[in-house]
Each structure stands twice: as structure tokens, then as C-alpha cells.
Amino acid sequence: MSELNLILFGPPGAGKGTQAERLQAELRVPLVSTGEMLRSAVKEGTELGLQAQRYMDGGELVPDKLIVAMVSARVEQDDARDGFVLDGFPRTIGQAKALERQLGGLSRRVTAAILVNVSDEEVVRRISGRRVCVKSEHNYHVDFDPPKQEGVCDQDGSRLVQRDDDKPEVVRKRLAVYHELTEPLIAHYDKQGLMRWIDGTHRPAEVHDHIRAVIATLRLEEAV
């Protein structure tokens, strides 16, 4: 396959970050996270980074047009010639269309959009079950990785708490934003024949195997 340009998205808590890191290591292509990309551009003092910093310093959201331009500049770099993995971007139809225009100007396109999907109930269970110790921020989960003694860190004996962002009511608000703004991407990419669905309820290794199977199919389709 000439290049493999993937978009990985899904609801919060679906595990897409873990899968993106695995794909980066296996495919040896850059993982493009807009948050990390913004921080790097600002730190390096690039022209786009300086523009973004002016918005951030003013407490404003960085405009879609600027973020898409930064993504485009990033995927033009040498290490992205064989492809890239976009983690959590685009998040809206507007961002998706802007990205397509920008990539089109580079004679490139999205190879596939991969949805790591889990139910709202599972998202709430995964995120609201997190616990962190107040002393050193060691992480636990009430179902998947509980401490030996409830409410107490195994490593330093400090109290375990639930972060405000992990409370069920906050998680449900994040899910509502996802359903309103990001979920429409499913139909958008499906119309283009780019949409691929992955069941995110399995163990991370199994989810990764399913994504690998999708990529293998993409390569076979191109070879035919």
C-alpha cells in the first residue's frame, strides 16, 4: 500500500489512545494528536504555533482552520510519507471537510476512518470507575484493577479519590457532546466508503487484532 492514512475515533473511554499508540509502533508512522501537536508547535515557536498561542493565551479556542493547517504541515514531514494515524481528530463534520480539502491539496486522502465503539453504559463504567491516590496519583479501577484495600493506595497508603472529570454526570455530558458533534462523522465517512467499525468492548489486544485485520483487508483491496 502506497500510504496508510488512518483516522481513529470513538467515544471518550473507548481506548482509542491505547490503540493509536499500538498502531504507531507497529506501522512505524507518526501518531498525530492535536493536543500534543499544539503543545509542540508552541514550544518550537513555529509560525502556526505562534498563531495558536495567541488564541490560547487569550483563553479562546484555536480555530479549526488553524488546527487543520497544523495537521497538514505535520503530515508533510518526512516521517509521515508512508502514512499517519490521527487520534481524536477530526471531531466535527466541519473539521473533516477542512481536512479533506487540505489533504487534497497535497494529493493525499484518508485511507480509512476506524471507529472504536463502546456503549454509553460501558463508557460510564470505565471512566467513573477510575480512582487515583491523592499523594502520588497512582491509578486504580474499582472493577478492572482494584486496590487490595478499598479506598487505599497499595503503594503509599494514601487515600484514593474519584476525580471530578470522572464522575458519572460529567462523563454523560462528555458523551452528549460526542453524540452531537462527533458521531455524525460515521455517516460522513460511510458515504465515502471509508468507515470501518471495531467493537471496543473486547480486551485491548483483541481490539488491536481486529484493527490489524481491517488494515490487512485494506491492503488486499488496493492490491486487487
Predicted TM-score (pTM) of this structure: 0.85
Q: Terminus-to-terminus CA distance in the chain, angstroms?
A: 11
Q: What's the CA gap between 206 and 24, in Å, rounded?
A: 17
Peptide bond into 204 cis (omega under 30): no
DSSP strand pairing (130-133 vs 160-161): antiparallel
Residue numbers annotated as active site: 16, 91, 130, 163, 174
Question: What's the pLDDT score for residue 1?
Answer: 58
Q: What's the CA gap between 55 and 63, in Å, rounded?
A: 8
Q: Which amino acid is at 214?
A: V
Phi/psi at 138 (nearest 5 deg)? -70, 140
Q: What's the CA gap between 8 and 3, in Å, rounded?
A: 16
Question: What's the pLDDT score for residue 52?
Answer: 85
What CATH number was assigned to the domain covering residues 4-118+182-223?
Answer: 3.40.50.300
Question: What's the pLDDT score for residue 40?
Answer: 81
Q: Which of 9, 176, 171 is nearest to 93 (CA)?
A: 9
Q: Which amino acid is at 156?
A: D
The full set of domain ranges for the chain reads 4-118+182-223
Q: Are 110 and 7 in contact (CB under 8 A)?
A: yes
What three-state secondary structure class fits 113? strand
Q: Walk along the chain (224 residues) and give the pLDDT tens digit of each residue.
A: 578 999 999 999 999 989 999 999 999 999 998 877 788 888 888 888 888 888 877 777 788 888 888 888 888 899 999 999 999 789 889 999 999 998 999 899 999 999 999 999 999 999 999 999 999 999 999 999 999 999 999 999 999 999 998 999 999 999 998 999 899 999 999 999 999 999 999 999 999 999 999 999 998 888 77
